[in-house]
Amino acid sequence: MKQRIITGIAAGVVFVGLTLIGGGFYTALLVCLAVIGFYEYARMNGVEWHHPTSLFGFVAVLLFVLPWDEWGVQAPSVLLLLWILAFLLLAMTVITKNKTTIDGAALMLLGALYVGYGFAAMDQVRRIEGDGLFWTLLSITCIVASDVGAYFFGKAFGRRKLWPSISPNKTIEGSLGGILLALVAAAAYSFADPEIITIGKAVIIGIVAAVAGQFGDLIQSAYKRVRGIKDTGALLPGHGGVLDRCDSWIIVFPLLVLTGLVPA
């Protein structure tokens, strides 16, 4: 427990510090997290990092998350990037005479999108002209508030299991408590600066971030259960890997961006 607390505080300080600084420092952090996250994903699926399908995935992740526009380089669209990656992965099934299966190709395509665009969306939000820090902190605060609310409400009032076959400790009461605390957190941002976000939009973001964030957690729990592992990695002693810690973020941020709730 002591190691878990120390690691959590240290990681939190580094993350918050780089988030506040923004720019290239924050982007570099997200690039590192994305690369490590995809490495964890490939390993979870029994694919070595140097396997051609993994290498294609790593390249796609970098194309997603690196700030090409900031460097004056026109990056391919998300659709074009996904199509090219799909073609290369499917071509591998032919080249290897089905040693690379179509199921394996599909897994790498999914992982590159899941991890790569997840962290790319986080960078997009932070780079919003003028208010990037505000929207980033709002989104993260809602996710954290949902986690905290779910934990404490679940401990205090939890009776009915939310999804016992996937995550036996989560309860419906805890889930509702997480949504409630996320709403309160989002509303606080609206009261702090109503010119940036109205209370109505803040409420919607709070609900979306809480529900999607909880699903992000359940998605990773379900996947780990299928693969028979406890953690996706060991980057953070006592906390697991990147995908263990960022499972909610890489679901919530893309959803907020793609729905236009956050003006990235």
For the segment 138-164, what is each residue's pLDDT rounded down to a tens digit?
Answer: 999 999 999 999 999 999 888 889 888
Q: Is 53 in contact with 108 (CB distance < 8 Å)? A: yes
251 and 168 in a common domain: yes
Predicted confidence (pLDDT) at residue 255 exceeds the cutoff of 80: yes
The per-residue pLDDT for range 64-103, each reduced to its tens digit, is 999 888 888 887 788 999 999 999 999 999 999 999 999 9
60 and 163 in a common domain: no
157 and 223 in a common domain: yes
Number of domains composing the chain: 2
261 and 138 in a common domain: yes
